Amino acid sequence: MSDNPTVKKRHFKLKMPGAFFILFILTVVAVIATWTIPAGSYSKLSYNSANSELRLQNPHGHVTSLPATQQELDKLGVKIKIGQFKSGGITQAVSVPHTYERLAQHPAKLSDITGSMVNGTIESVDIMIFIFVLGGLIGVVKASGAFETGLMALTKKTKGHEFLLIFLVSVLLVLGGTLCGIEEEAVAFYPILVPVFIAMGYDSIVSVGAIFLASSVGTSFSTINPFSVVIASNAAGINFTEGIMWRAGGLVIATIFLLFYLHWYSKKVKADPEFSYTWDDHEEFNKMWSVESTSGGQETGFTFRKKLILILFVVTFPIMVWGVMAKGWWFPTMASSFLTFAIIIMFIAGTGKYGLGETGVVDAFVAGSSGLVGVSLIIGLARGINLVLNNGLISDTILQFASSLVTHMSGPIFIIVMLLIFFVLGFIVPSSSGLAVLSMPILAPLADTVNIPRFVVVTAYQFGQYAMLFLAPTGLVMATLQMLHMRYSHWFRFVWPVVVFLLVFGGGILVTEVLVYK
């Protein structure tokens, strides 16, 4: 035994596996689930704009064409206005109530473990290309030296008021979440903001909290978000403005809670960096994201060239937000927009006396893209899990079981159980629009049986699903953590109070709505 009092005992620590291993295990579990959970399906209804007809596919795959009239929807028990189908408000097939049938088991094969990973990656190619272009753009800006000199100027101006930037970023992303559901698109903000947060003395938790968590809190209390509350309300057969004041009021309180929580944590980290939940990995995180001096052989100082490059880089983000909100851009269009600015910046950074040259800017673009390969693959693997569940025909079985749980319950108990059902379904179907069209035609009419408005069920869907999406490896969380080299266990330690707040506070709002409208 050593007599040296300075020698510290080594304590055993349970290390959480990495993102790729977690998703691999979940893929295996999903494959096993297709063998153990009974297969079944609801009939699915969609609109064929080519011939202006409704398309009804029964659980056995037989397709029937129906007139696109409100009478046909009423006969099917689908409480949705026909105009929602014709206008494009509902683009995915919706489940038809009371049509669930057990089907022959459709278990996944052993080869589907790897097959789903490949197919999930193929289906995610749009967002993957967006991420590659974003990474290339970042690589060129970093290589130009514009980041380094710009950060030095910014940190001097914000000395003593560092939290103000966290406050502004969080509020803007909360608004982006509640208005247009900016979440996956928020990945674009990490490269521009994370180096700033590092320079101000913060850690990776603060970065994810101010970007991913803030946008998700906004989406949890969606007011007019077309990918969440609007499509869910349409599928529930109601107007999305029903219950909007409840959601707006809840959004204000939730935003205040988030800001206080971020302020408490960031203040602790600022005072004592070792307080950071991710202190064990801070060196690797800083190595990946901090901006080091690259001025060797380059022009020094915050020159006009560097200012112009930074201005062009920053401008890409408000343009992206405008495109998503006003023009309905999706990832291919956003990628094209980012690539346009990347080419312009490459030309500016590559030419002139201190330019990087053609080879320099191309190598910088490729290096930046390659740095985000892991993030892109995570998104594909997560989507593969959802493919296994859908192809195994067990998602509808889980939904049918969930709907049977809430029958003959009193209003307050009904809505709390509904909240927990959406919490579980959020793991199985991490897409907000996907879960809306899958579940709302089935679960929203159940509100009629306990004499409460259907908008309360829509609100339960928002709170329940997003409380899970803060945690679910099948959602965006794993890609975010991979991007910032953060362990899931560290993230869980930080985010669990927010999950509890959303479930408890959200549950309180739901029960209050039930009692007010009962």
Q: Which two tokens stand for residue 351?
A: 């030419």
Task: Name the residue among 15, 478, 16, 486 with its Cα closest to residue 281.
Answer: 486
* Cα–Cα nearest to 478, from 368, 371, 372, 381: 381
Quote the pLDDT of residue 158.
63
Angle at 499 between CA 497 and CA 504, to 5 degrees: 95
Handedness of CA 448, 452, 456, 461 (dihedral sign): negative
Whose tokens are 């247009």? That residue is 180
388, 108 contact by CB (below 8 A): yes
The larger pLDDT score, comparing residue 479 to residue 412, is at 412
Is 256 strand, coil or helix?
A: helix
- Percent of the chain predicted with pLDDT > 70: 90
Rounded alpha-carbon distances, angstroms, from residue 268 to 188, 190, 195, 203, 271: 27, 22, 19, 11, 5
d(CA 119, CA 123): 6
My answer on whether 445 and 470 are in the same domain is yes
Q: Which runs of consecutive H residues, i.e. helices, occur in 231-303? A: 231-236, 244-271, 282-289
407/261 same-domain check:
yes
* Residue 10 in this model has a pLDDT that exceeds 60: no
Cβ–Cβ under 8 Å, residues 188 and 313: no
Q: Write out the H or E segment, with its range, that includes residue 44.
A: strand 44-48
Q: How confident is the model at residue 461 (pLDDT cuts 50, 70, 90)?
A: very high
What does the pLDDT read at residue 480? Answer: 82
Q: Are residues 503 and 413 in the same domain?
A: yes
Residue 125 has pLDDT above 50, yes or no: yes
- Would you say residue 33 lies in a domain? no
Instruction: Quote the pLDDT of residue 12.
Output: 43
- According to the model, what pLDDT value does residue 185 have? 67
Residue type, 373: V
CA dist list (Å): 137 to 3, 18, 242, 304, 372: 56, 27, 42, 19, 12
Q: What average pLDDT does the structure give for the chain?
A: 82
As a whole number of angstroms, the distance between CA 356 and CA 348 comes to: 9
Model confidence at 2, pLDDT cuts 50, 70, 90, reads very low
What lies within 8 Å, CB to CB, of 59 at 6+ separation is 40, 41, 42, 43, 99, 100, 101, 103
Query: Does a structural domain hold residue 5?
Result: no
Determine, yes or no, domain membership for 11.
Answer: no
Cβ atoms of 217 and 254 within 8 Å: the answer is yes
Over residues 343-351, the mean pLDDT reads 87
Per DSSP, the three-state class of 233 is: helix
DSSP characters for 290-306?
S-----TTS--SS-HHH
Residue 329 and residue 229 share a domain: yes
Least confident of 9-23, 149-163, 477-491: 9-23
Mean pLDDT of the region 494-513: 95
- The one-letter code for the residue type at 190 is Y
**Domain identity same for 118 and 56:** no
Examine the pLDDT at 150 and tell me if it is beyond 70: no
Among residues 83, 101, 119, the one where a domain terminates is: 101
- Full residue range of the structural domain in which residue 488 is found: 110-517
146 vs 444: which has the higher pLDDT: 444
Confidence band, pLDDT 50/70/90 cuts, at residue 16: low
Choose the final residue of a domain: 52, 73, 101: 101
Q: Rounded to an integer, what is the distance from CA 381 to the centroid of its chain?
A: 15
Name the nearest CA neighbour of 219 among 466, 419, 36: 466
Q: Which residue has the higher pLDDT, 431 or 60?
A: 60
90 and 186 inside one domain: no
* Domain-located, residue 499: yes
Task: Mark whether 114 and 89 lie in a shared domain.
Answer: no
Instruction: List the single range of 312-321, 463-472, 503-512 with lowest mean pLDDT.
Output: 312-321
**pLDDT > 90: what percent of the chain?**
19
pLDDT at 506 over 90: yes
Q: Do 380 and 120 contact (CB within 8 A), yes or no?
A: yes
Does residue 293 register a pLDDT over 60?
Answer: no
Which residues are 94's β-sheet partners? Answer: 45
Q: 336 pLDDT exceeds 70?
A: yes
pLDDT above 90 for 183? no
pLDDT of residue 89: 66
Q: Are residues 87 and 138 in the same domain?
A: no
**Which of 111-120, 138-147, 368-377, 406-415 shows the highest mean pLDDT?**
111-120
Q: Which residue has the higher pLDDT, 287 or 152?
A: 287
Task: Determine how many CB atoms are found less than 10 A away from the CB of residue 109.
Answer: 9
Q: Are residues 153 and 206 in the same domain?
A: yes
Q: Identify the three-state secondary structure at position 452.
A: coil
Phi-psi region of 46 (alpha: psi -120 to 50; beta: other; left: phi over 0): beta
Q: What pLDDT score was predicted for residue 6?
A: 47
Instruction: Give the pLDDT of residue 80.
Output: 78
* Of 375, 325, 300, 370, nearest in space to 146 by CA: 300
In a domain, 239, yes or no: yes
Q: What is the pLDDT of residue 291?
A: 60
Backbone angles phi, psi at 53, to 5 degrees: -130, 155
Taking residues 346-359, report their average pLDDT: 81
Say which residue, 483 or 257, is predicted with more confidence.
257
Domain termination site, one of 51, 74, 101 = 101
Same domain as 163, residue 87: no
Taking only the tens place, the pLDDT of each residue in 264-276 is 999 999 889 889 8
Full strand arrangement of the beta sheet holding 94-95: 63-67, 53-57, 44-48, 94-95
Task: Indicate whether 349 pLDDT > 90.
Answer: no
Tell me the C-alpha distance between 68 and 1, whole Å. 83
210-224, 281-295, 391-405, range with greatest mean pLDDT: 210-224
What's the confidence (pLDDT) of residue 51? Answer: 84
Q: How far apart are CA 430 and CA 379, in angstroms?
A: 12
Q: What is the mean pLDDT of residues 68-96?
A: 81
Same domain, 117 and 96: no
The answer to whether residue 297 scores a pLDDT higher than 50 is: no
- 20 in any annotated domain: no
- Residue 410's CB is within 10 A of a number of other CB atoms, namely 10
Q: How confident is the model at residue 518 (pLDDT cuts 50, 70, 90)?
A: low
- Same domain, residue pair 343 and 375: yes
Integer angstrom CA distances of residue 394 from 386, 399, 412: 11, 9, 29
Nearest C-alpha neighbor of 460 from the set 239, 259, 236, 253: 236
**Neighbouring residues of 462: CB distance < 8 A, sequence distance ≥ 6:** 219, 220, 221, 222, 228, 229, 232, 247
* 464, pLDDT greater than 90: yes
In a domain, 172, yes or no: yes
Mean pLDDT of the region 96-106: 89
The verdict on residue 27 lying in a domain is no
289: left (phi over 0), alpha (psi -120 to 50) or beta: alpha
Total domains, the chain: 2
Give, in order, the Cα–Cα distances in Å from 452 to each of 136, 316, 408, 501.
Answer: 51, 45, 13, 24
Q: How many CB atoms lie within 10 A of CB 469?
A: 24
